[in-house]
A and B are shown apart, each in its own frame.
Chain A
Amino acid sequence: ELKVEQNPLFLSMQEGKNYTIYCNYSTTSDRLYWYRQDPGKSLESLFVLLSNGAVKQEGRLMASLDTKARLSTLHITAAVHDLSATYFCAVDREGGATNKLIFGTGTLLAVQP
């Protein structure tokens, strides 16, 4: 069974601190997505990682992909309150050929002032 696991499930951090969210998946896939969701809102696409070794950065967030280890990380640098949200990673259940995504459990990030 295809599984996508994130840890931690909940992350409380202080403004200005750094932290990393981990996403492990059990199937071969050349594509991994990171999404952000604010409470009761839609899923906002943050990053699409398309190949082994891919690294993308946007503001205080940086995502990377290691397809051999089946691991992606989302690194948060100098967190600010506006980053508080739930972050999901997702993998295409057919290895990158479709958008039939399997989502991780999500990581609820709370940035405290």
Chain B
Amino acid sequence: DSGVTQTPKHLITATGQRVTLRCSPRSGDLSVYWYQQSLDQGLQFLIHYYNGEERAKGNILERFSAQQFPDLHSELNLSSLELGDSALYFCASSVGRATEAFFGQGTRLTVV
């Protein structure tokens, strides 16, 4: 157990809908990262937050957004969902911006 908690573990929703994925980082970690893993794109970095501020964006679609709250948990919001958004979404956390990151169990999103 890495100490990073993601909820829900599984999510099934219809196209066009909006969902929110939640991540609680390890105690004391200030950085949260979101990654997407799909069969066609592999593992891709989406976005990084550090102590509540967005620090970097990767291959994140405009339909997706994220935030990190004062208690350091983070949410990834996915809207206008398409079939191609079906994937495993991972959250990772680290103490700083360059220290080793630990991954949560992931949320498996299925869009039907």
Could you list which residues of chain A lie within 8 angstroms of chain B, going by C-beta atoms? 33, 35, 40-45, 48, 88, 90, 92-93, 96-103, 105-106
Contact = CB atoms under 8 A, between A and B. Distances in A.
Interface string B61-104: 00000000000000000000000000010101010011111111
How extensive is the interface on chain B, given as a class?
20 to 34
Given A93-B45, A99-B33, A100-B58, A42 B104 contact: yes
Contacts, number: 60
Given A43-B103, A93-B45, 5 more contacts: A40-B88, A45-B103, A48-B100, A99-B31, A99-B101
B28 interface: no
A103 B35 CA distance: 10
A92 B33 CA distance: 13
Contacts of A101: 35, 43, 45, 101
A100 B33 CA distance: 8
Contacts of A103: 42-44
A99 B105 contact: no
Contacts of A43: 43, 90, 92, 103
B22 interface: no
Contacts of B43: 43, 88, 90, 101, 103, 106
A41 B48 contact: no
A93 B46 CA distance: 12
A54 B28 CA distance: 28
Given A43-B90, A93-B45, A105-B42, A100 B100 contact: no
The 3 tightest CB contacts between A and B, nearest first, are A103-B43, A43-B103, A99-B101
Contact of B108 (A40, A90, A92): A40
Interface in B10-43: 31, 33, 35, 42-43
